[in-house]
Structure 1
Amino acid sequence: MPITGCDTLETRRTLDVDGRRYDYFSLAAAEGSLGPLSRLPFSLKVLLENLLRWEDGRSVTVNDIKAVAAWLGDQGKAEREIAYRPARVLMQDFTGVPAVVDLAAMRDAVVARGGDPSSINPLIPVDLVIDHSVMVDFYGTQTALGQNMGLEFLRNGERYAFLRWGQHAFNNFRVVPPGTGICHQVNCEYLAQVVWTSRDGDTELAYPDTLVGTDSHTTMVNGLAVLGWGVGGIEAEAAMLGQPISMLIPEVVGVRLTGSTREGITATDVVLTVTQILREAGVVGKFVEFFGPGIDALALADRLTIANMAPEYGATCGFFPIDAETIGYLTFTGRDEAQVKLVEAYAKAQGLWRDGSTPDPVFTAIVELDLGSVEPSLAGPKRPQDRVALGAARQGFAEALPGLKAGADLAAKVRLSDGRGDIGHGDVVIAAITSCTNTSNPSVMIAAGLLAQKAVEKGLTRKPWVKTSLAPGSQVVEDYLKAAGLQASLDALGFTVAGFGCTTCIGNSGPLDEPVSRAIDDNDLVVAAVLSGNRNFEGRISPQVKANYLASPPLVVAYALAGTMNLDLATEPLGTGTDGTAITLKDIWPSAAEIKAAVATFLTRDMFRRRYAHVFDGGPQWQAVTFPLGQTYAWDSASTYIKNPPYFVGMAAAPPEDLANITGARLLAVLGDSITTDHISPAGNIKKTSPAGVFLLGRGIAQADFNSYGSRRGNDDVMTRGTFANVRLKNEMASGTEGGMTRLQPSGELMSIFDAAMAYQAAGVPLVVVAGKEYGTGSSRDWAAKGTKLLGVKVVIAESFERIHRSNLVGMGILPLQFPEGITRKTLELNGAETFDIAGLSGGLVPRQQIPVKITRNDGSCLTVALLCRIDTMDELDYYRHGGILHAVLRDMAGRPNEP
């Protein structure tokens, strides 16, 4: 996309790097007009450069730029809305497929209006990494990887053919094939450049590498000093089609790191501690930036681990500035020498370079963390911020058990039908080394391998009821584990490679062994999973596992050996060695020196260069996928994976002149606190008796071929039926039930949320969802908003919203309203029989205004409550007025000439 800024502040300068000339927009030059900028947080300097580069007097004005500069004098706060344009977009396939479906549907809509389909085309680079579709159906054998990939291609052939079509139909769109790795690790190890370049006329322009991604853990790349965060697919689509992202100038919380970690402490322990303290500090919707002398004690991979879990601590991003460690990582991972030199030269010219002489930036607030205070940790059993010290994990589970099952007896055991052992409450049935957070970090992966090696040498084995798996974040991990001789020991304990991608952490843990599964169901056991992931929400990991704990890869191996949470790994033996002695965790835990030496010896630059040399080619299975050609997609009406969505059916050429008030709305669901996007739109198992399961059976799909909700996000028939279908969802309107039930009003008949919504739609009744705090926390899942829209929900009222989901709701034309302090669903005593009238929409709605909501009870009494409109910016209001961001973009793109 060409740079159109008129550069009113005259900040365009030239940078020479090894005889190659680059233009750039200089922050130092801007100081003449804006005043001193050196103590702005580094992340805000990146935003400021973005505004300087795109200043055109319309979407970005000089006053917008001055507002960022004035942030220093405003105690780190600003209320100004700005238009931000990232350099690129990153997608994974669960979120990427529906995004490409939307683009294909927009092309059809343009054609239907007599336009050019190629007017709908990415204007900035887009990379989609297929990493979320592999499932752990097979495990613990040398053939597991090949078997799982075979099933992956068999199940997802339609989706992959569709993506291959998109790869050829759209410009600026690349696909990384299955079996390569997790999108965030591929991003950090290969795609990210730290400083991006593009042609601007005859000039090569250099600027910070920035991105948005359709996965919330896009934030991982901030550890590499690349500013990026997760957005919903609908917002990402708008960005790739040239629309700026509307945002308020953020508050920036500084995390001052001091000291260094003690012996035996992993990067996972650090990030679980950071997650806990920042959740308590309250950083939702804010930037977090790390500073202080403790940064020097963190390897780049450790920074990536900490940045990865920004969604879990609630921040928009967790940013680390460019320094010598950044340059070393770029060099070691095989980046071009000229690119590495450009990064260093540009960072120093722009004041984006950090070293020991750099003064601390000014922040909105500061949180302190002494790395020396971090202790071995897990997080669970339901939320990533619920950190528990390793030594307290046993007691923590015992205290959590009554909330998971009333009256559960920890001592009770059940004999497995195949005689392999006895299991009970708290026993670990899944131990998975999985997820971008940790499989991207060589130190914790080597630590897991060394611990496995020591365990095997002493004669320890995994417990026979534990399903074990290893899903590396890239093929490089497999290379260095094999080179170090550690994969053989992991194999011996059942941690054979099951796939290259996001498996158990996204819910693709696959089925448990039948005897284990039957014992759980027949006896209502509260069993546990231990995984090296970043998400452990209810119902996410496995529908049969109620307690889920996040832990470092070596602790995952240790819990596979222990087989239970009812053991204090800090003090009690894991088992008995071949010599008859009791073996404790301390006996097999590798030293920091051992880990460091193994990483230095067995991880090489050549591994990165070799593995990424042909990253977009794929293997024989990918090359064998056949696909249609053409500017528009040939939809298959029989497909249960890919379907033309109904968003643009009957769409008028222009939006209505005024918004309409909402009258006579009924409650579809009344929900509690911390309702996640997994609760709203699950990614994993499709239950046979659920509306989606019944639909698939009716289309001739056998239960064994249901695949997952995540894999079927290209089909609105499945996904609308899957909305609010999480097996652990509790609707207070249908107390005593789980799994997406409600009561149809006014009759009070109990039925599925989907069936009730269809009945309300047939009657022309608009719907409302009411919830507690942190509504929409978790993944940046656009289907959590899309499905809500297609159910007929017009308004969501909550005590607070997670950032991405609130934006997604607006992006789908749904009105988010927020209770004022002291008023909740409980204080209002809502029982589900009420009707709602929402006024104040017609006649000039403005962002963040008070909206009067009249609630009428079934006895005829009523009250009016003033709620806060969480349409936060004028751009968001424009999207809402159009009926959604895609409608606004389509109307805009269809009316403009095609851009090259």
Structure 2
Amino acid sequence: MASTNSFDAHGTLEVGEQSYEIYRLRAVEGSETLPYSLKVLLENLLRTEDGANITADHIRALGGWDENADPETEIQFTPARVLMQDFTGVPCVVDLATMREAMADLGGDPTKINPLAPAELVIDHSVQIDVFGRSDAFERNVEIEYERNGERYKFLRWGQTAFDDFKVVPPGTGIVHQVNIEHLARTVMVRDGVAYPDTCVGTDSHTTMVNGLGVLGWGVGGIEAEAAMLGQPVSMLIPRVVGFKLSGSIPDGATATDVVLTITEMLREHGAVGKFVEFYGEGVSAVPLANRATIGNMSPEFGSTCAIFPIDEVTLDYLRLTGRSEQQVALVEAYAKEQGMWLTAGPDQPEARYSEYLELDLSTVVPSIAGPKRPQDRIVLTGAKQAFREVLPTYVGHEEGSDGIASDFPASDPSPQGLAEGMDGGSEPASTGDGNGRPSKKVAVTTADGASFEIDHGIVSIASITSCTNTSNPSVMMAAAMLAKNAVEKGLSVAPWVKTSMAPGSKVVTGYYEKAGMWPYLEKLGFHLVGYGCTTCIGNSGPLQDEISQAIQDNDLAVVSVLSGNRNFEGRINPDVKMNYLASPPLVIAYALAGTMDFDFDSEPLGTSEDGTEVFLKDIWPSPDDVERTIAESISTKMFTEDYADVFAGDERWRSLDTPEGDTFAWEDDSTYVRKPPYFEGMGSEPEPVSDISGARVLALLGDSVTTDHISPAGSIKGDSPAGTYLAEHGVERKDFNSYGSRRGNHEVMIRGTFANIRLKNLLLDGVEGGFTRNFAAGGEQSSIYDASVAYAEAGTPLVVLAGTEYGSGSSRDWAAKGTALLGVRAVIAQSYERIHRSNLIGMGVLPLQFPDGESAESLGLDGTETFSVTGVEALNDGGIPRTVAVLATAEDGTETSFDAVLRIDTPGEADYYRNGGILQYVLRSLVG
């Protein structure tokens, strides 16, 4: 639909022999001094202005943006395309398939349910590291992946044929965000002759990686992504923008990973939730594109919506390197310069206005890691041993976070089961000190292949080069390989208890490793290719060796993973591993060589060479000049063009899948992977009025920093869990349970896994971890959260969740909201929310409420045993959005506590979604209408 063009911004741009229609920003007063990111939004409004949803007033408000004001003006942003990975993409396609049937049921045309914006899905989240440390690891892991996921992959193949403008990148190709920056991203889009900035929403929070290419994009829940695919704009407030000034350059010995961990710490401390972050200053032009992408990737760890770099020569060089056409590169340059979106330091470029300012001199960055459970908890490498020793006793004693690191949860009394063996009755502890002030519990292990060794608290049980954050960056990947080469030449080896793995983000990495002759050295240390996927970073680390796993469990050892990823939340990486640390790829290999976190690289040798000389990390650390020279000799444009030439076709396995046909999907009644969800059952063409909540009970009372990893089903499915019981009842053997992520297309499995994280602490129970609660429908006895929800549903009792600060931080998991809604939760009352999860709750018809400023469940004396009512919600039926609603909590003895909760429905668009019972219902009714 053509813009109403109130500002006469429509014109043409000549690039070589090509002519493009564009919407010029200078037509709007104030546009010259907008931050780059807001210029992208301004163009979006100019191009999509329709006089109703997007008006001249919206455009004027953005042009006249007050950088000092709090966000209050709602705009409708229409992303150019949608990006998905398979964990979140499968439920998206399931929902679209279900919507087609619901559309037919309501008398509409099912083929209207079709992506209106280009949608691309990369299958990268399903490969697990079952096989490692051997030359056939990649081939075997892909085989197992197809065996486990064939049903899902057939479904995605159906979607690729049934829906227009929907493309799938098959398994074994690369990680979604690396494939995005190396191939899918356009930087400037062209559609129907119109050129405009490439913008993107993705069903993975690290979609922000593409910000490094000057592409405005961020992670959304699958619910919002589906709406965007169906032509619905993203409702948002014009944000505050943090200007982050960079100066200087990275010193020798430090890496891009160290830079991003430093920025993460700075922005978390500053406060960036809900804000745009934009990098500027003379240091930006010295930041390579791969480093920009690394920084953009970790925007969710800052808490910001995006972390973007403007377009400049560095952008163009990367586009050329990765095989984009010369016409495309010329268009990007001409468009950016025409629109005032080109980074220059000259006097012709007016200085952008920012809401807040931060600055980092890159020369001050030092080698760092982050952990043991949050990306923002940066530790200077020289202090890593001491930091580990300070926090280890809290993990041995099951009081994680009570000492040495800020706690994610209020302290609770540990139960006997929650104490280290032998520490629950004043008897001698089984974990004794090692004479150096740290708990020690040496355990002898003999593996099936005959290796014998001792393990202890703090061993590095997993060392994994994984995740798009760093595998997309040749500087750190080549540094890792060259460190491995130097280590092998010095005669060093990896400790036998370390599970090692190399999971590059694209085949290009394999190509430049081969060209540089690095694979033999990596493989000598056990870092064989295991797959092209997220693997360890999303919990697909695969099992540890049986004997090691058993020894860890039997002796309750607090062991460690070190990974080059972006997420290290509790219970995420591996069920045997309590402590998780983020590190650059070369440091991952260094810790594999050390074999333990209880290690000081400055003072302790990694081993001895053949002549008996002690070898320290500094002796094998490659120089930046050598790394850059090797990269220059090993990477070429040809690698990118050849690897991506036929990227959607897939291998023989993919092409030979038996794929269903037809506009609607033929659901299989016995499927345990893909089932038709109940979202539209009984739905009428008009929504029912929203209602207040009365007689609600608390399903979970939670502390601070409860992430979507705690809420959404993720990782392996335990045999004795509600989900495991369901699968067993449906004839699935334990070995075939697969992961929750792989079964996201089956709502029955996912409901049972919601709030079932093994590290979840529901404060309704003392000292119990996992998916349990008190079931007040059965006298307050302990039960699984799922079983309690069923009992409450049978009794007609609505549910609420009480939570602390930063509720729902972490990955953009739509099932964190879907599962919450399907468990019968009507409202969440938290101290604060992470952006995506709050939005997703509304998208599923769950009310997000916030305690009054400075108040919490604890300060109000609430312990979760109360009965809750929420009044004032019905005011939404009148078209407005009340600022607060009244909450009344009645204790079992009749004592009443009342407070006004802030209603966190922030925009009129969100209110429309809630009135319709959710975003999908709203879209469906709109399309039928």
Q: What TM-score, normalized by structure 2, do the two folds share?
A: 0.94
Q: Secondary structure at the match of 1:684?
A: coil
Q: SS at the partner of 2:201?
A: strand
Residue aligning to 1:880: 914
Query: Equivalences for 1:620-635 in 2 at 5 Å?
Result: 620-635=652-667
2:16 alignment counterpart: 18
Amino acid at match of 1:872: D
User: What is the match of residue 785 of structure 2?
Assistant: 753
Which of 727, 750, 759 does residue 696 from structure 1 map onto? Answer: 727
Counterparts of 2:596 and 2:866 in 1: how far apart (Å)? 46
How many angstroms does 1:561 deviate by?
Answer: 0.4
Residue 427 (structure 1) aligns with: 459
Aligned-partner SS, 1:664: strand
Residue of structure 1 in register with 2:425 after alignment: none
Local SS of the residue matching 2:446: coil
Q: Does the alignment pair 1:544 with 2:541?
A: no
Counterpart Cα distance in 1 of 2:791 and 2:124: 37
Structure 1 residues 357-414: Cα deviation after superposition (integer angstroms, max 9, x where no partner): 1443110000111101110000000000000011111111111112222275433211
- Aligned-partner Cα distance in 2 for 1:313–1:719: 28
Q: Which runs of 5 or more residues in structure 2 are unaligned?
A: 398-419, 421-430, 433-438
Q: Does the 8 Å contact 1:811/1:879 carry over to 2? A: yes
Contact 1:390 1:570 in 2 (8 A): no
Q: Which amino acid aligns with 2:593?
A: L
Aligned pairs (5 A) from 1:324-723: 324-357=313-346, 358-406=349-397, 409=432, 410-418=439-447, 419-656=451-688, 658-723=689-754
In the alignment, the residues of structure 1 paired with residue 170 and residue 602 of structure 2 have an alpha-carbon distance, to the nearest angstrom, of 42
Q: Show CA shifts across 1:160-209 (max 9, x none).
A: 0000000000001000000000000000000001000000xxxx100000
Q: Is the Cα contact below 8 Å between 1:67 and 1:78 reproduced in 2?
A: no
| Map 1:248-259 → 2, pairs under 5 A | 248-259=237-248
Aligned to 1:725: 756
Contact 1:378 1:549 in 2 (8 A): yes
CA distance in 2 between counterparts of 1:737 and 1:641 reads: 30
Instruction: Select the residue among 216, 238, 241 that pairs with 1:227.
Output: 216
Is the contact between residue 9 and residue 23 of structure 2 (CA under 8 Å) also seen in structure 1?
yes
Q: How many residues align?
A: 883
Unaligned runs of 5+ in 1: 896-900
- 1:829 CA drift (Å): 2.4
> What residue in structure 1 maps to residue 154 of structure 2?
161
CA contact (8 A) 2:876 2:911 kept: no
What residue is the counterpart of 2:59 in the other structure? 65
Q: 2:408 aligns to what?
A: none
User: Is residue 195 of structure 1 aligned with residue 188 of structure 2?
Assistant: yes
| Structure 2 letter corresponding to 1:164 | R
Structure 1 counterpart of 2:414 = none
Equivalent residue number for residue 136 of structure 1: 129
Shift of 1:37: 2.1
Measure how far apart 1:830 and its partner are.
2.2
Deviation at 1:97, TM superposition (A): 0.2
Structure 1 match to 2:893: 859
Corresponding position of 2:853: 821
**Would the aligned equivalents of 2:67 and 2:241 in 1 still touch at CA under 8 Å?**
no
Equivalent residue in structure 1 for 2:802, among 751, 770, 779? 770
Match of 2:64, SS? helix
Matching residue of 1:898: none
Sort the Cα spacing of 1:682 and 1:574 in 2 relative to 1 into closer, same or farther, 3 A: farther
Measured after TM superposition, the shift of residue 77 of structure 1 is 4.3
Distance in 1 (CA, whole Å) between partners of 2:806 and 2:669 is 38
Q: Please state whether the residue corresponding to 1:756 is helix, strand or coil.
A: helix
What does 1:14-413 correspond to in 2, within 5 Å? 14-28=12-26, 30-31=27-28, 34=29, 36-71=30-65, 73-75=66-68, 77-199=70-192, 204-357=193-346, 358-406=349-397, 409=432, 410-413=439-442
Q: 786-795 or 576-585, which moves further after superposition? A: 576-585
Q: What secondary structure, in the 3-state scheme, does the structure 2 residue paired with 1:397 have?
A: helix
Picking from 737, 740, 743, the partner of 2:774 is 743
Secondary structure at 1:236's aligned position in 2?
Answer: helix
Q: Mean alpha-carbon deviation: is it higher for 571-580 or for 410-419?
A: 410-419
Matching residue's letter, 2:384: A
Counterpart residue identity of residue 295, structure 1: V
Question: Contact 1:252–1:288 at 8 Å: present in 2 too?
Answer: yes
1:291/1:360 contact within 8 Å kept: no
Percent of aligned pairs with the same amino acid: 58
Name the amino acid aligned to 1:232. Answer: G
Equivalent position SS for 2:888: strand
Q: Deviations 1:712-768 (Å, cap 9, x if unpaired)? A: 000000000000010111100012111110001151110000000000001100000
SS of residue in 2 equivalent to 1:367: strand
Deviations 1:546-576 (A, max 9, x none): 1000000000000110000000123321112
Query: Deviations along 1:493-512, whole A, 9 cap, x unmatched?
Result: 00000000110001000000
TM-score normalised over the length of structure 1: 0.97
Partner SS for 1:279: helix
- 1:78: how far off? 3.7
For the structure 1 residues 127 and 519, does the alpha-carbon distance in structure 2 shift closer, same or farther, using more than 3 Å as the test? Answer: same
Distance in 1 of aligned mates of 2:353 and 2:394: 43
Tell me what 1:5 maps to.
Answer: 3
CA contact (8 A) 1:426 1:527 kept: yes
CA RMSD in angstroms comes to 1.0
Q: Distance in 2 between matches of 1:74 and 1:94?
A: 38
Question: Residues of 2 paired with 1:523 and 1:778: CA distance?
Answer: 31
Q: 1:559/1:301 Cα in 2 relative to 1: closer, same or farther (>3 Å)?
A: same
C-alpha change, 1:515 and 1:74, in structure 2 (3 Å) is closer
Displacement of 1:76 in angstroms is 5.6
2:817 is equivalent to residue 779 of structure 1: no
Q: CA deviation at 1:70?
A: 1.3
CA contact (8 A) 2:691 2:874 kept: yes
- Secondary structure of the residue that 2:875 maps to in structure 1? coil
Question: Counterpart of 2:62 in structure 1: which amino acid?
Answer: V
Aligned twin of 1:890: 924
Q: In 2, are the aligned partners of 1:101 and 1:642 still within 8 Å (CA)?
A: yes
In structure 2, distance between residues paired with 1:445 and 1:593:
14
| CA drift at 1:582 | 1.0
* CA-CA distance at 1:784 after TM superposition: 0.3
CA positional deviation for 1:822 = 2.1
Q: Please, which moves more after superposition, 667-676 or 848-857? A: 848-857
Whether the aligned pair in 2 keeps the contact of 1:847 and 1:870 (CA below 8 Å) is no
Query: Matched residues in 1 for 2:874 and 2:440: separation?
Result: 62
Please state whether the residue corresponding to 1:622 is helix, strand or coil.
Answer: helix
Q: Does the aligned pair in 1 maintain the 2:672–2:743 contact within 8 Å? A: yes
Distance 1:325 1:730 in 2: 46
